[in-house]
Every structure is written in C-alpha cells, then in structure tokens.
Amino acid sequence: MSEILLPIIESLDEIELSLPSFDEATIRQATEIVSAVKRDGRSAVRRFAARYDGLAAEESLIASSAELLNAKSAIDAATLALLERTAQRIERFAVAQRNSLADLTTTVEGGEAGHTVRPVDRAGCYAPGGRYPLVSSVLMMVVTARVAGVSSITVATPRPTALMCAAAAVAGAENVLAVGGAHAIAALAYGLDELPACDVVVGPGNRFVTAAKRLVSGDVAIDMLAGPSEVLIVADESSDPRDVAINLLAQAEHDTDARPMLITLSPKFLEAVQAALGSELESLPTAMTARQALKNGFAIVAEDLNQAAAWCNRIAPEHLQLAIYDPTRMRPKLRHYGTLLLGSETSEVFGDYGAGPNHVLPTGRTSRYTGGLSVYTFLRVQSWMQLDSPEHLASDVAALATLEGLAAHERAVRRFNSLRGGS
C-alpha cells in the first residue's frame, strides 16, 4: 500500500466544506486598517506600507502609466509576446461575454421601457504578491474590466516587480498602487489624493485582503470573498492516475491552504493516484508546499456517477474537472461550481493561464450563489421607462398605493388622472 498523501474519507460529513470564518484577530486588525485609511488617507497608507510591505519613505506609492509603459518596453521580446498572446485570449472570451448582454427596449402598457448596460467608471484590481506574483491575475482582471468598458483601472499589488508592471501595461491598467493587504483594499475603495476612489474592487488575496473586502463592501462593489484555492477532480479508470496526481499537485502548490480533492469510482484507481503523488513529489520543487496542502484535501470513492454528481453539488468547488470517459453524461447533473473542466485533457492549469475564461473564481461553496469574475462584474443594468398614455394604469396604481397606506402616491396618480380628464 502506497503512502496516503491525500486523506481518504468515507463520508463528506467528516470534513468542513464551507469557507472558514474570519477569526476575531483578523477582523479586528483589518477593521483598524480600513478605518485608518478611510479617515487619514495617504498618511495611513504610507504608515501601513512601511510596516507590512517594507516600502521606504522615498519609494513611490503609485507607478504611473508612463512607468508601466517603460516596464513593458524593458522586458524581453519573448515574455512580452507571451503576455500579449494571453491577453488576447482573455480578451476574445470577454468580448463574447460582453456581446451576450445587450441594451433592451420593449413595449409596456402605456409606453416603452428597457435597460441600458453601462460599465462602472473606476475599477481596482488586487493581485497577490508574495512568493509567486500572479501576473496571470493582472491580465485576467484588467483585460476583462477594459473589455467591459471601464475607463480607469488601477492594479494594487505589494512591491510590484517590473514584470507585474509590464503585465499591467499590456492589460491596459492606468497605474499600479505599490502596496498590498487590507490597506491596499481600503485605498482602492476610498481613494488617495492622486487616486480617485474606485466603484468596484476585485481580486483574490490573503485573509486580511478578504476581510477588508467584506468591510468595504457596500461602499463599493466587490466580486466575491475568496478563500483558499480548490480543485475537485472526478476520475474513472479511463484516466491516467499520474495525470490526475499531477493536476492535484498543480492546485496544491499554490499555497499550504489550498485544497485538492478527488472523487473516484475505484479503490484500485485511488491507490494508483496515491502512488503517483508520492512519485511526483520526489522531484517537485514546490513539494514542501504541495505536501502540506494535500493534507487539507481528501479522496472519496463513489458508487457511481450519480453519487459523484450529488457530492460535487454539495462540495460546490472552485474548479471541477471531469476526468471521465464521457463527461457529457455527468454534466447535466451538475449545478454548483466556479468553472467546469470537461475531459482529462482540460486540466485546471489551462484555466489558470488564460485559455479564455476567467480564473478569479468562487471558493468555499460560494458557487452556490455567485459566479466567477467576468465582464458582468464591471457592468450595471440600468432600467428606464417612458410612458405616453398610462391612464389605464392609474386605477391599479392608486389601489396599490391605498393598500400600502402611501397617501402621497395615491394623490400623485389621482392628480395625474384629473389633469388627463379621468375620474
């Protein structure tokens, strides 16, 4: 028997599936930071940037558009071409999404009504720094916001590298705020002297970033409250156990809090996956992180695809890959996921690195009520109405106003009716 690297469970009741609650210390610290930035602006951001980001007093808080273009021109041609190809793929998909939602005009009783689809004015996009600055996230968020029609886009990331600035330039960002954490979210939400407040703040981050997004929500829109990254693979014996193991590790190497999960139909296949995990870890440079993350995940054996589908809907994972012989059989049974990856060849890494659909996705079962970041995140659907002959509506409007006890409403419609010669 191979070493059990991915814990085996008998029932989903053995594990916690939802996002972990914010601990009191995180909420308290995030609240202090957000409140200080909202009150003191630039001076507070400077203070927290020195404390948490190591940003010296003489270093700039914001990289301008000109600085981003300089970073873009300084990177090697092959890297620039890679960023541009990836941005183009993301853009094509985002354009198709945007074109699926159009302005509307329709006839209603007494006239016309409809809606206008309009972007927000300003967007803030948070890209994690840390050990692995996420260049792909910059492209995913900024390109999507630009396609939606957002006129001003700021990226926030702690101590941005030249490559991150180049990616921001390729994607179309206006500037980069060179700080991270809760103070970056607050700065995006409430603005600084030279940085207007954003209308929507998006992007993944650590627990302080997520807590700050929850705190500013309502003052600005947010995309979601993201937790540790997840993948759930459903695999049968038509798949290669080594392929499944590598895809689990691709998720596990994100960070020690990541959650790789496996549903299989065969105990024998599960044993082969465990062996392949051990073999791959021997030569994986990120093995220390991945090995720890595997402990957060689980493997479980299902009786059949119907049971597997029911478990998938209960787990509601961020990434759901169907590495089975015919994924179309199972697809109609699935309701809750951030993104669905159909087939053994459609591994999660293609979604991560810009095949088209966005990789900023809901975690911790929140896909039950929200989707991933898209052009819709940056759009508003605003209704309008023009009534030319609403007389026949007046009696119903007056009656509803009477039911609700709103006398001025009733008086307004009766006034209208009397002016039009009605009763």
pLDDT digits (tens, 9 = 90+) for 241-299: 999 999 999 999 988 999 999 999 999 999 999 999 999 999 999 999 999 999 999 99
Element (H, E) at 124: strand 122-126
19, part of any domain: no
Task: Taking residues 332-350, report their average pLDDT.
Answer: 94
Domain presence at residue 168? yes
Same-domain check for residues 28 and 100:
yes
Helices (H), 65-177: 65-74, 77-99, 135-148, 162-171
State whether residue 152 is helix, strand or coil: strand
User: 1 pLDDT exceeds 60?
Assistant: no
- pLDDT at residue 84 is higher than 80: yes
Q: Which of 222, 257, 283 is the last residue of a domain?
A: 222
Phi, psi of 300 (to 5 degrees): -145, 145
Highest mean pLDDT among 15-29, 76-90, 382-396: 76-90
Answer yes or no: do 200 and 271 share one domain: no
319 catalytic residue (yes or no): yes
| pLDDT (mean) for 374-385 | 97
Query: Residues 68, 208: one domain?
Result: yes
Which residue in the list 230, 318, 348, 410 is annotated as catalytic?
318
Predicted local distance difference test score (pLDDT) of residue 119: 98
| 131-173 pLDDT, tens digit each | 777 899 999 999 999 999 999 999 999 999 999 999 999 999 9
- 111 pairs with which residues across the strands? 108, 387
- Residue 13 included in any domain: no
Reference 277, options 229, 244, 313; nearest CA is: 244
270 and 151 share a domain? Answer: no
pLDDT per residue as tens digits for the range 25-50: 999 999 999 999 999 999 999 999 99
384 in a structural domain? no
- By CB neighbour count within 10 A (0-12 exposed, 13-18 middle, 19+ buried), where does 332 fall? exposed
Q: Which two tokens stand for residue 358?
A: 């966005």
- Note whether 234 and 140 are same-domain residues: no
- 248 burial level (CB within 10 Å; 0-12, 13-18, 19+): buried
pTM of the model: 0.93
Residue pLDDT, tens place only, 179-209: 999 999 999 999 998 899 999 999 999 899 9
Task: Note whether 150 and 72 are same-domain residues.
Answer: yes
Residues 327, 183, single domain; the answer is no
Q: What CATH number did the domain enclosing 55 receive?
A: 3.40.50.1980
318 an active-site residue? Answer: yes
**Is the pLDDT confidence value at 102 over 80?**
yes
Q: Which of 319, 348, 359, 410 is catalytic?
A: 319
Is residue 149 assigned to a domain? yes
Residue ranges making up the domain that contains 85: 24-222
Pick the closest to residue 160 from 79, 95, 67, 26 (CA basis): 67
